[in-house]
Structure 1
Amino acid sequence: MTAGPTGPLLLGVRHHGPGSARAVRAALDAAKPPAVLIEGPPEGDALLPLAADERMTPPVALLAHAVDDPGRASFWPMAEFSPEWVAIRWALDHGAPVRFIDLPAAHTLAMAGDPTWRDGEGEGADGGDAGEQRHGLRVDPIAVLARTAGYDDPERWWEDVIEHRATGAAPHGPPAGTGYDPVAVFAGLADAMTALRETYGHGGHDRDLVREAYMRLQLRAARKAHGDGVAVVCGAWHVPALAAGTTVTADRALLKGLPKVRTEITWVPWTHRRLARHSGYGAGIDSPGWYGHLFGAPDRPVERWLTKVAGLLRDEDRPVSSAHVIEAVRLADTLAAMRGRPLAGLTETLDAVRAVMCDGSDVPLGLIRDRLIIGETLGEVPDAAPAVPLQRDLTRLQRTLRLKPEAFERDLDLDLRKETDAARSLLLHRLRLLGVGWGEPAAGRGGTGTFRESWRLCWEPELHVRVAEAGVWGTTVLAAATAKAEADAGSAGALAEVTALAERCLLAGLSGALPVVMKALADRAALDTDVGHLAQALPALARSLRYGDVRSTDTAALGGVATGLALRICVGLPPACTGLDADGAAEMRGHLDAVHTAIRLLPDGGTEDVTGRWADVLGRLAGRDTVPGVIRGRAARLLLDDGRLPEDEAARLMGLALSPGTPPADAAAWIEGFVGGGGSNPGGGMLLVHDERLLGLVDAWLTGVPAEAFTDVLPLLRRTFSAYEPAVRRTLGELVRRDPAGGGPARAHTAVPGFAAGLDESRADAVLPLLRLLLGTHRGTPGDTEDTDDMRLGAGSGE
């Protein structure tokens, strides 16, 4: 029973349904109830008047969180097409009292953290958003009704029966004089839910029993205060329970002894994308953008929708004309008629778009789904809404820096030489340190200077919870980030964690936290004797010195600690590189590369020449037989690249490493360290291309590897050379076919197309006249030998 002469008007809905929302508005217009009760947390009653604020733009959500544990939170989202939002706005527009009557958030949040109430996670079945349990299985009432009606898709049944009713798409319901009864749909749905509840009961879902007991108590109180004509907007599943004849004593008994926590509640912006998610804080709506269109279109919803689709495709440079739209509308209507649907739904419109506008391709449909079917709408909440002090400071900074939160991902490139961009960088780094992941660093599009930063921004509703959690550290972003950094410095376990924290403090401009972090860094660096830990810590310090330069930060103390770490690494690294297995050697090679890069960024400390000490360490590693081949080869390559190792000496070291007495596996490891491609050594292949002597050594060694050992070294060699660019591999192949100088045992020279044994001077002289014409030199005739020699000398000298 939905309503009666002496009973309340029970409007059972499916949350976030445009058809339900239209029907609720029509029912309220017809009944004009003295008060409106809505399924939701009663703590939000004081916030309901904000829904009438002109800056309140759905989608929005009520956010309730435990005061002592902000991470324990719950959202109640509402979109423009949500029946609850329509009911709130109707009550405020008509001056009718409006209240929430669901179980208080104080109990809901406490029950969420209580193992005895785990069966109640998620919303109860309300006409489709969730289901009930029977014999341990969750039952979806909409799916049951759809199967009863002969539908295999519950969503399609709901759209046909509720969302696409003959009331049309107008948001204000059917025109007068049509004989349409706005309450009939709720009566029919209530009868269906009553039959389901009689069959399935509550399914052992104890939390719904408690919620419904509380709602009945609130309904009794409202009827006593405002009369029997009050309207209740709630999930359709709860309607039979609210209409049931129970006693006050029985309902209060169910509520006795419920756990409770202290809570705070506010309005926060929501997004259509979040409404479309079925897990986490999502509402489980597949197509919020489509639902919003159905609710807002004044008439002809299919025609207006396909016009939107055409506009989107045109913006993406696809040739879509008005004729395409007309034909797509006709096809969608025809498909709906063939399928027995009262109105073309999303399935029919997508089929029509695919066939008419996309030439049968599904690729453009991904864009349509992302931009229109789901949408990128982000709601807005007025400043008058309650918020933790940290959230207010963040909002102020966002406006000052013109950094508006947006629901879709976007890239932001910053030039730290500009004051505004530098302030934006500090804000984003401070928020990351606080665990508020609004922005993530991204690879820049151009330039490698430290004055440039690139970020990828996307604001998610859950970040409001993260801000509330971070509020325990301070009332402003700067104060909270400083306090959080100091606490992290005290709790950090590994040296690398402290150095990474120091880097983040410099990036975030937390000069107030640096003394505490530096003390923790010095203490741990003095006690840590593991060279691997020191090697992991140094790169972050080196980067911090670079960032400090561009941000005008005093990094003198940091530079002293970094120099001390570098010197300790120089002392401890050679012994640490002996006696390593293959995995340990590969890990140490990574440390070698990282430390080499870091030391090149460090200034020389005092009287100690750090760069010179490091070069000596590399020299000892390159010539020590007890060091694994991959480390010896890498040390030799680093010295060669820095100009500290003559090419003849590099060739001598390679010859020793690839001598017949060296085990093939060790020789292959040396090659990987010296010319291995990818990662930290992207130019390994080019070294062999330009120095055929080294290529010849590798070629000679490879051809001399015994057959029984070749299978063992092949995977390592394949990994080494497969990392080269295709052009490098092709050039190396051509050079090997030519038998590079000094390359291995004598082999018979074979004619290779395109290559000759020596220079053909007569063919080379033939290009000189054209070259002379291009350069504008006419000092003799083309056959002049002296002139020809001059040209050769000029070309050779770069003239």
Structure 2
Amino acid sequence: MAGAISTALSARSCKLTRVHLLGIRHHGPGSAALLKGALEALDPACVLIEGPTEGDALIEYAALPGMKPPLAMLFYASDEASNAMFAPFAEFSPEWVALRWALDRGREVKFIDWPAAVSLARAPVDAKDEEAILTQTQPPERVRADPLDILAEAAGYGDGEAFWNALIEQYGGTGQTPLEVFAAIETAMTEARQHQADVAGMSAVETLRENRREAFMRTHIREALKRHEGLVAAVVGAWHIGGLRKSATAIEDKALIKELPRIKVEATWAPWSDSRLSFASGYAAGVISPGWYRHLWDLYSRDQHEGAEPFAALWQARTAALLREEGYAASTASAIEAARLALSLSALRGMAIPGLTEMRDATLSALCHGDETALRLIERQLYIGERIGEIDDAVPQMPLKRDFDLWCRKTRLKPSELTEEMRLDLRSDAGLLKSTFLHRLNLIGVHWGRLLDAEAGRGTFREIWSLTWNPDLTIALAEALVWGVTLERAAVGATVDRSSKTTSISELADLVRAALVADLPEAAKACIDRLQAAAVHLSDITDLMTAVAPLVRIVRYGTARKLPEAELRGLIATLAAEINAGVRTGSHQLDADEASARIDAMRAYDEALGLFGDTGLTEEWHRQLARMVDDEQIAAPVAGLALRRLHDSRQWGEPAVAAAFSRHIVGETPARAGAFVESFLSGSAEVLIQDPVLLFLLDEWLSGLDENSFIESLPLLRRALSGFDTGGRKRVMDRLRGGRQTVATLDEAAKENPAFERALPLLRQILGLESAGIEA
């Protein structure tokens, strides 16, 4: 028995000596350089990398010439694409370097972390473990210290970031051999992990999660040792080394990961970006400055280490060029001086090469002359970077992603994280194609472009877009697969589905407009049918009014796409008839919020009806406005706007308007009278400037209020007058100072001036008064 135990222990020891755990920092260029050196020295038969095991299916594509980092492996649930996760790589990521090293030499390479199928199942502990954790007596929660901060404090550094950068990422390519550095990392991180467990500790859930992940890793390491006689290199986060060295049997690890919930997962490669690699983006494993790390990697990846001087000079030359692009006088001499200053600072601080802090201080002094404003203008380009990765055409993509790439080639649009403004002429084939592309993307939730020009929504022949890409939009493309495998089919499916799930007339009207500008007549027809059916049973007049305006704008101004004009005009007429029939009774006893929404909708509807040009509908609308002014149950703001529209369209003469105005403010409570006045006056001072009778009726009403009523009415009046421009306010004051004056109407002025009378019909036509049904 003793001999058997001794033989088993000897075999276990032999296996362990064939495993080399190489502890790295994710996305660290110094770690990547050291790792490359260690792999060259070890020449392992197999390379294992921390990462979801579903990534094994993507490994072969990493060596294709069109694969240009930053890239990410995208894992998403087959039945819910929004449930997704990324595993990003930059060219300076140690995992990417290990992957390429193994592929270039024909060695086996595998991912060994727990599967994405487990991570995305959103069940880090099973019910039994949760019950055990909840019944434990937990000590008061303590702040978990970063193990690097612990090491930094012991070594005399300010924080863990500075410590790791100085010793690993900016080691300068000199000193100890890579294997010696990794041995030192293992010792230090193991001690730091043990110290953290003793002092700060992790929660029970966190501990269980880490234990399970490391159980998966140990299992894969054992399997690799069975497959290969030679050395096995495992590239993992330095934090995990202590856990992987822990003595645990295969049976114990199998029990720990047994029966974990899993879901079906799809995997593909996706472009990534510098900004998404940065810690500022919210990426937990991100780095502060991807742009700076790329510059370090350029130094380390060369065949020969050129030293600190060219390294500093190249960075400062790049900085000077960016400053010149922003209009600053950054000379070559100043760039040379900045490089010398950075080298001097690094020498004083005992560093092999200048760090980012030294480079920034030198730039601020020699190139920016102490002006941080200049440096802030280029910080994103310089420190974060602007690179977006590219996927080789041979990589299998999601069907919708393939169609997206095809559209990008057709429209000559290239995703970029830099915000770009683009002006489109829809009368050109190229402009119309780009517009259609962007509108369809918005319908499926891929908001690459944002429409800036408000007039573009009116179906005019120009559009102004703001384009900004971020890699999260790749997930949105995956989510849209449920609607179709091409951009057109997905946009149709998403639009029709949204129309089937809403009874809001305004939302349906927006969907009709969106489908038309996206050149989706099938979806537009379905939304029109849905809108007509919903309008029959709808009693919300505000929603009906809101729906009319976007539809009228399309019919009025036209569109560069195919337009079902007959169906749209019929729909608008149906909606307008419903509104005219129910607007008065639907405006009784509205509360403040309902009244505010109603008057906004009335303004839009009144304008749209004038543009639509249907005389019968317009006349009926004016009759309803008159009835609302005389209806005592109508909400005061609605009555105020109704009277204002009758005044502006000259449906009522000045005496009738003045009488109605007086009736609604004299003897009424300050709240009701003030709400009426606010709505009547809102938007323009001309009504008071051109109609002195109304002005002095308002003046008399205010003068007759007692102190309490005046104080109560003042906020409403001030809010109404706040919409007047400075010139309008001044002219109102001039009117008040001048006393009561009679202002001639257009008709009276025409009678006194024969030439003006002859020009009056043309003037009315120019101002659009005849189209509003106003008699000369």
Query: Which of the five TM-score ranges fits, normalised by the shorter chain?
Result: 0.7 to 0.9
1:359-398 alignment to 2 at 5 Å? 359-398=369-408
1:15-164 alignment to 2 at 5 Å? 15-111=26-122, 137-164=143-170
Judge conservation of contact 1:117–1:207 (CA < 8 Å) in 2.
no
Structure 1 residues 46 and 333: CA distance shift in structure 2, 3 A: same
2: CA distance between counterparts of 1:116 and 1:21?
40
Structure 1 residues 546 and 287: CA distance shift in structure 2, 3 A: farther
Structure 1 residues 22 and 615: CA distance shift in structure 2, 3 A: same
Cα offset, 1:569, TM superposition: 1.0
Q: Does 1:252 align with 2:262?
A: no
Cα offset, 1:227, TM superposition: 2.8
Cα offset, 1:211, TM superposition: 1.8
Cα offset, 1:524, TM superposition: 1.6
1:691-730 alignment to 2 at 5 Å? 694-730=694-730
Q: 1:346 aligned to 346, 349, 356, which one?
A: 356
1: CA distance between counterparts of 2:480 and 2:266?
15
2: CA distance between counterparts of 1:351 and 1:268?
36
Higher helix share: 2
Cα offset, 1:207, TM superposition: 2.1
Q: 1:636 aligned to 615, 636, 643, which one?
A: 643
In structure 2, what is the equivalent of residue 502 of structure 1? 512
In structure 2, what is the equivalent of residue 488 of structure 1? 498
Judge conservation of contact 1:502–1:544 (CA < 8 Å) in 2.
no
1: CA distance between counterparts of 2:580 and 2:155?
79
Deviation per CA, 1:25-49, whole angstroms, max 9, x where unpaired?
Answer: 1222233222222111222223223
1:572-611 alignment to 2 at 5 Å? 572-604=582-614, 609-611=616-618
1: CA distance between counterparts of 2:146 and 2:548?
57
Deviation per CA, 1:610-631, whole angstroms, max 9, x where unpaired?
Answer: 1121122223334445434432
Q: Does 1:13 align with 2:19?
A: no
Judge conservation of contact 2:386–2:417 (CA < 8 Å) in 1.
yes
Cα offset, 1:62, TM superposition: 0.4
1: CA distance between counterparts of 2:718 and 2:126?
55
Judge conservation of contact 1:274–1:282 (CA < 8 Å) in 2.
no
SS at match of 1:209: helix
Structure 1 residues 445 and 88: CA distance shift in structure 2, 3 A: farther
Structure 1 residues 4 and 254: CA distance shift in structure 2, 3 A: closer
Q: Does 1:264 align with 2:266?
A: yes
1: CA distance between counterparts of 2:533 and 2:478?
33
Structure 1 residues 735 and 324: CA distance shift in structure 2, 3 A: farther
Cα offset, 1:258, TM superposition: 1.8
Unaligned 5+ segments in structure 1 are: 120-132, 168-173, 678-683, 744-797
1:707-786 alignment to 2 at 5 Å? 707-739=707-739, 741=741
Cα offset, 1:381, TM superposition: 0.6
RMSD of aligned alpha carbons: 3.1
1: CA distance between counterparts of 2:342 and 2:129?
45
In structure 1, what is the equivalent of residue 415 of structure 2? 405
Structure 1 residues 246 and 579: CA distance shift in structure 2, 3 A: closer
SS at match of 2:390: coil
Judge conservation of contact 1:75–1:281 (CA < 8 Å) in 2.
no
Q: Is the deviation greater in 311-320 or in 590-599?
A: 590-599
Judge conservation of contact 2:124–2:209 (CA < 8 Å) in 1.
no
1:210-609 alignment to 2 at 5 Å? 210-277=212-279, 283-297=285-299, 299=306, 300-337=310-347, 339=349, 341-443=351-453, 450-546=460-556, 549-604=559-614, 609=616
- 2:245 alignment partner AA: A
Cα offset, 1:687, TM superposition: 4.4
Cα offset, 1:526, TM superposition: 1.0
Judge conservation of contact 2:459–2:557 (CA < 8 Å) in 1.
no
Judge conservation of contact 1:112–1:118 (CA < 8 Å) in 2.
no
Cα offset, 1:735, TM superposition: 4.8
Cα offset, 1:190, TM superposition: 0.3
2: CA distance between counterparts of 1:701 and 1:350?
67
Cα offset, 1:646, TM superposition: 4.0
Deviation per CA, 1:677-715, whole angstroms, max 9, x where unpaired?
Answer: 3xxxxxx02444455565455445444443332211111
Structure 1 residues 246 and 527: CA distance shift in structure 2, 3 A: same
Q: TM-score, normalised by structure 2?
A: 0.84
Cα offset, 1:655, TM superposition: 5.0
Structure 1 residues 370 and 732: CA distance shift in structure 2, 3 A: farther
Judge conservation of contact 1:214–1:255 (CA < 8 Å) in 2.
yes
Deviation per CA, 1:6-29, whole angstroms, max 9, x where unpaired?
Answer: 332321000001111111112222
Unaligned 5+ segments in structure 2 are: 1-12, 131-138, 744-762, 764-776
SS at match of 2:605: helix
2: CA distance between counterparts of 1:705 and 1:400?
69
2: CA distance between counterparts of 1:256 and 1:270?
34
SS at match of 1:110: coil
2: CA distance between counterparts of 1:242 and 1:249?
15
Judge conservation of contact 1:441–1:456 (CA < 8 Å) in 2.
yes
Cα offset, 1:198, TM superposition: 2.9
Judge conservation of contact 2:275–2:281 (CA < 8 Å) in 1.
no
2: CA distance between counterparts of 1:314 and 1:688?
55
- 1:363 alignment partner AA: T
Judge conservation of contact 1:563–1:602 (CA < 8 Å) in 2.
no
Deviation per CA, 1:639-680, whole angstroms, max 9, x where unpaired?
Answer: 34334444565455445555x545544443333222213xxx
Judge conservation of contact 2:511–2:524 (CA < 8 Å) in 1.
no
Deviation per CA, 1:698-739, whole angstroms, max 9, x where unpaired?
Answer: 445444443332211111122122233334334444554454
Cα offset, 1:75, TM superposition: 0.6
Judge conservation of contact 2:426–2:461 (CA < 8 Å) in 1.
yes
2: CA distance between counterparts of 1:613 and 1:581?
26
Cα offset, 1:741, TM superposition: 2.9
Cα offset, 1:106, TM superposition: 2.2
Q: TM-score, normalised by structure 1?
A: 0.82
2: CA distance between counterparts of 1:422 and 1:117?
59
Structure 1 residues 421 and 573: CA distance shift in structure 2, 3 A: same
SS at match of 1:75: strand
Q: Percent identity?
A: 40
Cα offset, 1:63, TM superposition: 0.5
Deviation per CA, 1:295-318, whole angstroms, max 9, x where unpaired?
Answer: 114643332222212111111111
Structure 1 residues 293 and 703: CA distance shift in structure 2, 3 A: farther
Structure 1 residues 14 and 546: CA distance shift in structure 2, 3 A: farther
Structure 1 residues 303 and 723: CA distance shift in structure 2, 3 A: farther
Aligned residues: 710
Judge conservation of contact 1:498–1:521 (CA < 8 Å) in 2.
yes
2: CA distance between counterparts of 1:502 and 1:518?
6
1: CA distance between counterparts of 2:210 and 2:646?
72
- 1:199 alignment partner AA: H
Judge conservation of contact 1:111–1:117 (CA < 8 Å) in 2.
no
Cα offset, 1:571, TM superposition: 1.5
SS at match of 1:99: strand
Q: 1:182 aligned to 175, 178, 202, which one?
A: 178
Cα offset, 1:251, TM superposition: 2.0
- 1:253 alignment partner AA: A
1: CA distance between counterparts of 2:366 and 2:128?
52
2: CA distance between counterparts of 1:32 and 1:156?
32
